[in-house]
Structure 1
Amino acid sequence: MTETSTADDRSFRRETEQVVNEIAQELRTLDDGTSWFTGLSPARRQDVLQELAGYAMQAHITAADGRAGVARSGVKPTANPSVMICMDPPRYGFARLPADEHVKAFRVLVSVFAIADTRRRETYCKGTCGHSWHHLPTPAEEP
Structure 2
Amino acid sequence: MAATNGEDERTIRREAEQVVNEVAQGLRTLDDGTSWFAALSPAARQVVLQEVAGYAMQAHITTADGLAGVARSGVKPTANPSVMICMNPPRYGFAALPADEHVKAFRVLVSVFSVADTRRRQTYCKGTCGHAWHNLPPSVERP
TM-score range, shorter chain: over 0.9
**What's the CA shift for 1:7?**
3.2
**What's the CA shift for 1:112?**
0.1
Matches within 5 A, 1:28-67: 28-67=28-67
Partner Cα distance (1:98, 1:139) in 2: 33
The corresponding residue for 1:139 is 139
**What's the CA shift for 1:26?**
0.5
Root-mean-square deviation over aligned CA pairs: 1.0
Identical amino acids, percent of aligned pairs: 81
Partner Cα distance (2:83, 2:66) in 1: 9
The code of the aligned residue for 1:130 comes to G
Partner Cα distance (2:9, 2:53) in 1: 17
Matches within 5 A, 1:62-101: 62-101=62-101
**What's the CA shift for 1:78?**
0.3
Cα deviation digits, residues 118-142 of structure 1 (max 9, x gap): 00000000111110000000036xx
Say which one has the larger Rg. Answer: 1
**What's the CA shift for 1:10?**
2.1
Partner Cα distance (2:6, 2:98) in 1: 27
Cα deviation digits, residues 8-63 of structure 1 (max 9, x gap): 32222111100000000010000000000000000000000000000000000011
Partner Cα distance (1:87, 1:114) in 2: 18
Partner Cα distance (2:9, 2:129) in 1: 27
The corresponding residue for 1:105 is 105
- Which 4+ runs in 1 deviate beyond 4 A? none
Unaligned ranges ≥5, structure 2: none
The answer on whether the counterparts of 2:12 and 2:48 sit within 8 Å (CA) in structure 1 is no
The corresponding residue for 2:125 is 125
Cα deviation digits, residues 52-103 of structure 1 (max 9, x gap): 0000000000111000000000000000000000000000000000001000
Unaligned ranges ≥5, structure 1: none
Partner Cα distance (1:25, 1:122) in 2: 12
Number of aligned positions between the proteins: 136
Partner Cα distance (1:42, 1:53) in 2: 17
Partner Cα distance (1:15, 1:66) in 2: 24
